[in-house]
Amino acid sequence: MRKIGRFRQNLTLPISSFIRMVNYEIYQSIKSYLLKIHMGLVSTDSFELVDLFSFTQPGIFSLPNIMGFDLFENVMSSEPSILGVIRFRRERYFISCTSFEDRVGKIYCLVISGEITGDFRPADLAETILKEAVLNSGYSGKILRLVYDSANDKLTFKIIPPPDITLEDIYLIDKTDLEDFVDSVRIGGSSLRYLFIGEPGTGKTDTIRAIISECKKIRENLTIFVVDAGCGVSLEVVFEFAEIFRPVLVCIDDIDLLVGSRDRTLKRDELSTALQALDGFITKDNIFLIATTNDRYLVDFALRRPGRFDLIIEFGCLEAEFYSTLVMRESRDDRLAEVFKDERILKRLSSLKVTGAFLVTLVKYLSRERFRNIRYEPEAVLSAINRLYGSFKSEIKHDKVGFQNS
């Protein structure tokens, strides 16, 4: 029988708990990593997993709890939580992955408890587990589109394939700044942040896709996040993920739709949060950022000032020397590409200040059956240019819509 004195002594032990709230996908990655260690599939020198409880061994089906591997070799378990014992830097900790309902939705946590000693470092252990879990997940080193799942109130990752475009397909006279960005990713270390500004159809998105393609070739372990205004995810959350997945490249399309400017009342909170998140974001190494906007004045000056971005690149109309090359890329027709070297066509397109997207749309227009026998005649091409431009003249003038690459 336990003596009362000892019982009271145990109650007064200096025990403390550290709680690290995480996103659902990270929560699942931590559970998967701990299960992989327990099963002997992976190992680590950072800590010793003494024991793990509350899970079902893969291959054993005991409905409704089923456990197995997903497409990315992550261990998936329907168990609501797991509990383990870990030895870290000579100290013993209890670790738990758990979730609970809050008034704003489901909260996922990594909880670490232990006796307070001179070497009690639960925060260090949490960061070690988190980083190693991410590196061992099926998401690390992938191109990920962030998507908010409103039905289940959680953010998920959608893996997308590498783009089939390179910097050779980008029609800019001077690409040195783009090459510098790719080189910085290759070298690693200090972060770099670019803002692309230009009307719809001027090539911003294609340039980002080309940079993604080039960066993945030279740094396989680079994780890339693709974010747009429709994802339903705040920049604060995006930057939290970026820090976890370093080295990382974050690509944000239409950043103005996510944060806006201080004169847009509905976006003031988002702007303040974005500024704070970006200030913390830019102090980290191996974090790279490219963002786009159609108009610099849609983005608050505080967000686009020097220091928060290293360089702003303006995208405009397509240079005449690239007309024929772009037509060749889109049509694979050298005869049609040759037509776009005609002085009259060059002069007309230059006077209209057309974008690459306009030219792509023009090639698609000329591919119609009724142009089969006349598409190589300069007069027919000039007529098509005038008709197509006239069709979109109002939209081009007022920036209401842009020509999107097919």
| pLDDT tens digits, 55-93 | 554 444 444 344 566 655 666 665 567 889 999 988 999
C-alpha to C-alpha distances, 83 to 45, 122, 231, nearest whole angstrom: 20, 15, 33
Q: H helices within 305-355, ranges in order? A: 323-331, 334-339, 343-352
Read off the pLDDT of each residue in 303-320 and give the average, rounded to a whole number.
85
| C-beta of residue 382 within 8 angstroms of C-beta of residue 344 | yes
Mean of pLDDT values over 323-331: 94
What pLDDT is stored for residue 254 in this prediction?
87
Residue 76 is given by DSSP the state E
Instruction: Measure Cα distances from 128 to 24, 36, 120, 135, 225 in Å.
Output: 18, 16, 14, 11, 22
pTM tops 0.85, yes or no: no
Q: In this model, does residue 275 exceed pLDDT 80?
A: no
- pLDDT for 248 equals 93
Lowest mean pLDDT among 31-35, 254-258, 287-291, 390-394: 390-394
Per-residue model confidence (pLDDT) at position 240: 78
Q: What is the mean pLDDT of the chain?
A: 81
Among 104-108, 329-333, 381-385, the minimum mean pLDDT is found in 104-108
Q: Following DSSP, what letter does each residue of 127-167 receive, concatenated? A: HHHHHHHHHTSSSTTSEEEEEEETTTTEEEEEE-PPPS--G
Report residue 39's pLDDT band, with 50, 70 and 90 as the boundaries.
confident
Tell me if 252 sits within 8 A of 239, measured CB to CB: no
Distance CA 197, CA 311 (A): 11
What pLDDT score does 261 carry? 52
Whether 209 has a pLDDT exceeding 50, the answer reads yes
- The answer to whether 332 and 375 are in contact (CB under 8 A) is no
Is the pLDDT assigned to residue 141 strictly greater than 70? yes
What is the reported pLDDT for 319? 93
What local confidence, expressed as pLDDT, does residue 306 receive?
72
pLDDT at 323: 95
Highest mean pLDDT among 6-20, 191-205, 302-316, 318-332: 318-332
Distance CA 44, CA 37 (A): 8
The tokens describing 175, both together, are 């690409």
Q: Which residue has the higher pLDDT, 232 or 182?
A: 182
Under DSSP, is residue 389 helix (H, G, I), strand (E, B) or coil? helix
Instruction: Give yes or no for residue 222 having a pLDDT over 70.
Output: yes
- The arithmetic mean of pLDDT across residues 129-149, rounded, is 85
Mean pLDDT along residues 278-288: 74
- Assess if CATH 3.40.50.300 describes domain 158-315: yes
Question: Which residues have a Cβ under 8 Å from the Cβ of 370 and sit 6 or more positions away?
Answer: none
Distances (CA, A) of 338 to 290, 352, 357, 375, 384: 35, 20, 19, 11, 16
Nearest-angstrom CA–CA distance, 175 and 167: 8
Rg (the chain; Cα; Å): 27
pLDDT of the residue at 282: 60
In the prediction, which pLDDT does 267 show?
A: 53
Q: What is the pLDDT of residues 155-184, one digit of tens each?
A: 778 889 999 999 999 999 999 999 999 999
Q: What pLDDT, on the 0 to 100 scale, is given for residue 396?
A: 53
Q: What is the pLDDT of residue 381?
A: 96
Predicted local distance difference test score (pLDDT) of residue 404: 37
State the pLDDT at residue 77: 60
- Enter the tokens of residue 228: 């747009």
Calculated CA dihedral for residues 171, 177, 182, 188, nearest 10 degrees: -170
Question: What pLDDT score was predicted for residue 25?
Answer: 81
**What residues contact 104, with CB distance under 8 A and at least 6 apart?**
none
Bridge partners of residue 83, in order along the sequence: 53, 96
Angle between helical axes of 356-366 and 323-331 (0-180°, round to 10):
50
Q: Are 249 and 290 in contact (CB under 8 A)?
A: yes
Find the length of the chain: 406
Between residues 144 and 7, which one has the greater pLDDT?
Answer: 144
Q: What are the residue boundaries of the structural domains of the chain, listed by start? A: 4-138, 158-315, 320-398
Q: Give the model's confidence band at 201: pLDDT under 50 very low, under 70 low, under 90 confident, else very high.
A: confident
| Token digits of residue 195 | 């803002």
Distance of alpha carbon 188 from alpha carbon 1, whole angstroms: 61
Of 118 and 216, the structure prediction assigns the larger pLDDT to 216
